[in-house]
């Protein structure tokens, strides 16, 4: 599934105007008198945005920010301005938005810190589009300065954040820290010391990820690091979250504030809530700021502990004229999203220029009394682990004069995995560097934080499981990629979007008979997003790599010359040194050259290199397997057969390779066996082989050089062994090895370290393409089969029966990517008629909500929702139907487009519901025809659209 990576998220196409004003919660806002009419600058005339304009602004804004349209609330009073160049007819506008009251806390927080203001442009007779801006909206180079002035955009924003606090400023703050206002001055000093700390990856707009270290340091709402890189200042993996409040909380914590810190979270309003709990009575636009104060900014209207706030900053100092100098976390300036130093500010006028007229501010003071000492706390855990294996964590904590009330853990790989307890375990699903955060709360309501970095390695597999970030605060793994090479060598990928499979040709050409292996990891070349990588013997010799990067699918030639009949194995290692961006993940490939010598090709510091490994040569280059282990004996292990056909291991424990025999005793090793390896715990590695009696056997080890060998009852024949680990019904991990029997049937044998159990699977094949290494609760076990070119999959739920299904055997071609979705029998009939009219197959009509969801999510289909029930289901899911993303009822990541299109879309679908329900079949037929032919039927006029509602209609299938 070719998806262009953009940090943690994926690129979206701007939605066309269409959602009604009432549904978006947008209202027509009167223009200020000075802007109401007349010429502002020669040829530039002020206009009053109408309802259609406001609707279009909201739709374009939601698409640019990757938000569901229903999460966008009202236009901020006084923020919407519109001007037109009379010479060209081009119109520009600026508008700010507040989140909808029904939006989740995480989504509301994503509007903070200036992220809710956008600049729009419309060519003569065109539609409104977002103006790309590297920096604040007033800094768009493509917009004439006369237009920016007419729109009231502050050019001072363009240089904001460039100035750094002087040495004298820092010295004054440090000196003040010894005065009676020591706490406030110390907060100011700490905040000033962070000025310039930026997101990783660097972002120049709020349309991408927003990855900061402070959310990690204080265990924020959404500890999700996918798409985020490391921060070397704080030695943590960054997290994707709006972070002005997390930064302010961290600064207060570092200065010694301990009281009721759990009240503070990623929402700026939480500082106001904290103030009320401490007996403070903040009054809007009132009070005398002091160093260390938190300044919370609110839109016009009533201020309360439950209303939305725009931002919170820290007062660094107060000038003689009453203006203040602020340190603002998560602010967009000319250098990107950083901790910014803003000087000489009149709070009222500055707030109005950043957000809109009438913006309010309140002051929240840090505690005035002595603070109870925070808990002492430490984490005991390994620094290395293996994907798919349990990792144990222990908290050692104590509170002076009190007791520990709670230990709360976040793991950096998705917010659904947070747990409490002094002793916990966690399974990391993919390789990478993760920062685990421990929050210790005492019975005295003091809070302390500790972090622990874990480097997670993994084994290679031709199938990759990738988390979906289309709902930005979750990492539900609904996307899978299976790499295969055609008989002609062209590389193809079958992708699963949570509902259906799609095959595409991707760059790269494999040598005849070459197998494909892969690794899934967070890649700096993909904006730190977790993406699939395929590795294979290239048709021109050497090694090839194909991966999904920032510019789509990319193919590279790698160093190394495998023998024609050599297997290629892969591991990903992630040491704690992965805190350096160039060492975030270290992928390695293993193969035999033409002389039977073992070789390694690896990437380090962004460069690939190849070298021989000091190991005994082999006469069986097809017998090769690799595994990564963690814990105290973190290593890369490569298994092969020596020149005498004996099982051997090359292991890299301390940076150099050591050769060790793997004793098989009286079992021996069958000639021509293949090898497969997997791990079920940090230090446990299992290698599977066929013994001299033709039986499946396993050698397992939890300490280097110490092996236990077991013969299992199965009898593999006719294909390579393929191993992986999987999640058992009890939540523990175990190994499974897949193979074909002599009849060509598929079988799988599970091994839990004590006993094996063999299950016959329904599929038949000529070879096994891959086994899913996806260790995720609720995700099925999967064995992918190749039956003379026909791909298929045997799959089973964690405790369910196995079933077989064919996969696409040829690349899907357009218009095969059009999918019509209906949610009632009548609309299904209309969708089938529309498909026939457009020349589409009946199979391109579905009544299954999960299939429609997955197709809309994937970006590989043009989904046409036929009828009010289908349009509403994808827009709001008011029925609460189950979906592949496990998203909450009454919520989806999707928005609708009302005009016909003929290109695939991500997170957008076409609205084929007519306001007159009797005309829905005609609207569906016309939109389907346009999707296939690129134009409406001759003389056709689209019936008026019906917009999504919020009432449960239809059925999920």
* 229 band by pLDDT with thresholds 50, 70 and 90: confident
Q: Give mean pLDDT, residues 389-400.
A: 92
Model pLDDT, residue 621 = 95
Distance, CA of 576 to CA of 573 (rounded, Å): 10
- B/e letters for 419-437, b = 16+ CB within 10 Å, e = fewer, are eeeeebebbbbbbbbbbbb
More confident of the two residues 561 and 145:
561
pTM of the model: 0.85
Model pLDDT, residue 555 = 94
Distance, CA of 72 to CA of 66 (rounded, Å): 11
Query: Is the model's pLDDT at 417 over the cut of 70?
Result: yes
Percent of the chain past pLDDT 90, that is, above it, reads 51
Model pLDDT, residue 503 = 85
State the average pLDDT for the chain. 86
Model pLDDT, residue 174 = 58
More confident of the two residues 542 and 427:
542
Model pLDDT, residue 485 = 86
* 1 band by pLDDT with thresholds 50, 70 and 90: very low
- Find all residues with CB under 8 Å of 279, minimum gap 6, and list them: none
Model pLDDT, residue 13 = 23
Query: Is the model's pLDDT at 785 over the cut of 60?
Result: yes
List the one residue out of 887, 865, 892, 888 whose CA is nearest residue 876: 892
Q: Give mean pLDDT, residues 386-407.
A: 92
Helix orientation angle between 244-255 and 182-192, rounded to the nearest 10 degrees: 130
Give pLDDT tens digits for 291-341: 999 999 999 999 999 999 999 999 999 999 999 999 999 999 878 899 999
* 583 band by pLDDT with thresholds 50, 70 and 90: low
- Rg of the chain over Cα atoms, rounded to whole angstroms, equals 30
Model pLDDT, residue 486 = 78
Among 189-203, 362-376, 761-775, name the one with the lowest average pLDDT.
761-775
* 31 band by pLDDT with thresholds 50, 70 and 90: very low
Query: Is the model's pLDDT at 285 over the cut of 70?
Result: yes
Model pLDDT, residue 507 = 93
Model pLDDT, residue 20 = 25
- Find all residues with CB under 8 Å of 34, minimum gap 6, and list them: none
Model pLDDT, residue 476 = 67
Query: Is the model's pLDDT at 843 over the cut of 70?
Result: yes
Helix orientation angle between 825-838 and 920-933, rounded to the nearest 10 degrees: 30
List the one residue out of 932, 858, 906 whose CA is nearest residue 493: 858
* 250 band by pLDDT with thresholds 50, 70 and 90: very high
Model pLDDT, residue 182 = 86
Model pLDDT, residue 742 = 80
* 881 band by pLDDT with thresholds 50, 70 and 90: very high
Q: Give mean pLDDT, residues 824-846.
A: 95
Beta pairing class for 384-386 and 447-459 = parallel
Query: Is the model's pLDDT at 21 over the cut of 50?
Result: no
Query: Is the model's pLDDT at 701 over the cut of 70?
Result: yes
* 415 band by pLDDT with thresholds 50, 70 and 90: low
Please provide the DSSP assignment of 770-821 as one string: EE-----TTPPEEEEEEETTEEEEEEE-TTS--EEEE--SS---TTTTEEEE
Give pLDDT tens digits for 438-495: 999 999 989 999 999 998 888 898 888 887 665 555 666 678 899 988 777 889 899 8
Among 348-352, 388-392, 827-831, 834-838, name the one with the lowest average pLDDT.
388-392
* 774 band by pLDDT with thresholds 50, 70 and 90: low
- Find all residues with CB under 8 Å of 718, minimum gap 6, and list them: 740, 741, 742, 744
The 3-state DSSP composition of the chain as helix, strand, coil percent (nearest 5) reads 20, 35, 45
**Do 587 and 533 form a contact (C-beta atoms < 8 A)?**
yes
Query: Is the model's pLDDT at 11 over the cut of 60?
Result: no
Model pLDDT, residue 470 = 57
286: phi then psi, degrees, rounded to nearest 5:
-145, 155
List the one residue out of 628, 649, 535 whose CA is nearest residue 573: 628
């Amino acid at each position: 599934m070719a998806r262009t990576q953009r940090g943690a998220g994926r690129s979206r196409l701007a939605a066309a105007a269409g959602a009604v004003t009432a549904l978006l919660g947008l209202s027509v806002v009167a223009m200020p008198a000075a802007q109401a009419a007349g010429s502002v600058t020669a040829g530039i005339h002020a206009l009053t945005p109408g309802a259609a304009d406001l609707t279009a602004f909201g739709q374009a804004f939601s698409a640019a920010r990757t938000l569901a349209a229903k999460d966008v609330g009202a236009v901020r009073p006084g923020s919407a301005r519109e001007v037109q160049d009379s010479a060209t007819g081009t119109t520009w506008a600026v508008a700010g938005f507040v989140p909808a009251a029904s939006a989740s806390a995480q989504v509301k927080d994503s509007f903070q810190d200036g992220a809710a203001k956008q600049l729009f442009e419309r060519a003569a007779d065109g539609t409104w589009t977002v103006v790309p801006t590297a920096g604040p909206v007033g800094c768009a180079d493509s917009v004439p300065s006369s237009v920016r002035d007419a729109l009231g955009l502050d050019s001072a924003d363009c240089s904001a954040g460039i100035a750094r606090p002087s040495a004298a400023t820092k010295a004054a703050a440090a000196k003040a820290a010894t005065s009676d206002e020591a706490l406030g001055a110390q907060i100011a000093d700490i905040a000033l010391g962070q000025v310039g700390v930026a997101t990783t990856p660097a972002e120049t707009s709020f349309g991408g990820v927003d990855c900061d270290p402070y959310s990690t340091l204080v265990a924020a709402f959404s500890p999700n690091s996918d798409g985020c890189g490391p921060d070397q200042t704080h030695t943590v993996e960054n997290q994707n979250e709006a972070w002005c409040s997390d930064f302010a909380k961290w600064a207060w914590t570092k200065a010694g504030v301990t009281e009721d810190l759990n009240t503070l979270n990623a929402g700026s309003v939480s500082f106001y809530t904290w103030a009320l709990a401490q007996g403070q009575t903040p009054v809007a636009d009132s009070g005398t700021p002091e160093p260390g104060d938190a300044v919370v900014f609110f839109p016009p209207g009533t201020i309360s502990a439950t209303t939305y706030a725009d931002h919170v900053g820290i007062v660094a100092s107060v000038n003689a004229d009453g203006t203040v100098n602020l340190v603002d976390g998560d602010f967009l300036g000319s250098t990107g999203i950083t901790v910014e130093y803003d000087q000489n500010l009149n709070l009222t006028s500055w707030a109005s220029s950043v957000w809109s007229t009438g913006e309010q501010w309140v002051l929240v003071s840090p505690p005035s009394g002595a603070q109870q000492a925070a808990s002492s706390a430490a984490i005991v855990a390994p620094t290395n682990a293996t994907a798919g294996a349990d990792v144990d964590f222990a908290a050692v904590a104590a509170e002076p004069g009190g007791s520990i009330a709670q230990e709360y853990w976040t793991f950096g790989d998705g917010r659904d995995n947070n747990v409490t307890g002094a002793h916990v375990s966690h399974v990391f699903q993919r390789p990478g560097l993760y920062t685990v955060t421990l929050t210790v709360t005492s019975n005295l309501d003091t809070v302390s934080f500790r972090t622990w970095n874990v480097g997670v390695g993994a084994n290679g597999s031709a199938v990759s499981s990738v988390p979906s970030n289309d709902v930005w605060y979750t990492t539900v793994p609904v996307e899978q990629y299976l790499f295969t090479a055609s008989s002609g060598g062209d590389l193809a990928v079958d992708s699963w979007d949570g509902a259906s499979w799609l095959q595409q040709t991707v760059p790269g050409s494999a040598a005849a008979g070459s197998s494909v292996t892969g690794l899934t990891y967070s890649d700096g070349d993909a904006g730190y997003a977790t993406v699939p990588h395929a590795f294979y013997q290239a048709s021109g010799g050497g090694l090839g790599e194909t991966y999904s990067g920032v510019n789509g699918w990319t193919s590279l030639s790698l160093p190394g010359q495998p023998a024609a009949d050599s297997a290629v194995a892969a591991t990903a290692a992630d040491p704690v040194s992965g805190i350096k961006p160039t060492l975030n993940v270290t992928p390695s490939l293993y193969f035999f050259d033409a002389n039977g010598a073992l070789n390694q090709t690896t990437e380090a510091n962004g460069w690939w290199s190849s070298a021989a490994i000091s190991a005994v040569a082999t006469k069986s280059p097809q017998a090769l397997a690799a595994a990564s282990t963690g814990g105290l004996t973190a290593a890369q292990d490569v298994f092969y057969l020596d020149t005498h056909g004996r099982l051997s291991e090359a292991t890299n424990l301390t940076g150099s390779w050591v050769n060790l025999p793997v004793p098989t005793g009286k079992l021996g090793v069958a000639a021509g066996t293949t090898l497969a390896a997997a791990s079920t715990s940090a230090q446990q590695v299992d290698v599977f082989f066929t013994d001299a009696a033709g039986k499946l056997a396993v050698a397992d080890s939890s300490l280097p050089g110490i092996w236990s060998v077991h013969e299992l009852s199965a009898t593999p024949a006719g294909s390579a062994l393929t191993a992986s680990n999987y999640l058992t019904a009890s939540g523990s991990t175990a190994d499974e090895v897949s193979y074909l029997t002599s009849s060509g049937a598929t079988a799988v044998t599970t091994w839990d370290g004590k006993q094996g159990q063999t299950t016959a699977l329904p599929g038949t094949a000529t070879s096994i393409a891959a086994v899913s290494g996806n260790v995720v609760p609720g995700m099925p076990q999967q064995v992918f089969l190749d039956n003379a070119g026909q791909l298929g999959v045997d799959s089973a739920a964690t405790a369910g029966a196995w079933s077989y299904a064919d996969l696409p055997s040829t690349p899907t071609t357009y218009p095969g990517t059009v999918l019509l979705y209906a949610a009632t029998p009548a609309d299904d009939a209309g969708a089938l008629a529309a498909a026939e009219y457009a020349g589409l197959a009946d199979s391109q009509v579905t009544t299954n909500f999960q299939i429609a969801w997955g197709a809309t999510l994937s970006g590989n289909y043009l989904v046409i929702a036929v009828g009010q029930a289908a349009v509403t289901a994808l827009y709001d899911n008011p029925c609460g139907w189950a979906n592949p993303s496990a998203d909450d009822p009454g919520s989806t990541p999707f928005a609708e487009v009302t005009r016909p299109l003929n290109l695939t879309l991500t997170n957008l679908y076409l609205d084929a519901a007519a306001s007159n329900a009797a005309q829905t079949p005609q609207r569906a037929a016309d939109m389907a025809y346009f999707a296939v032919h690129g134009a409406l039927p001759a003389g056709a006029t689209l019936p008026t659209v019906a917009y999504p509602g919020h009432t449960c209609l239809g059925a999920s299938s």
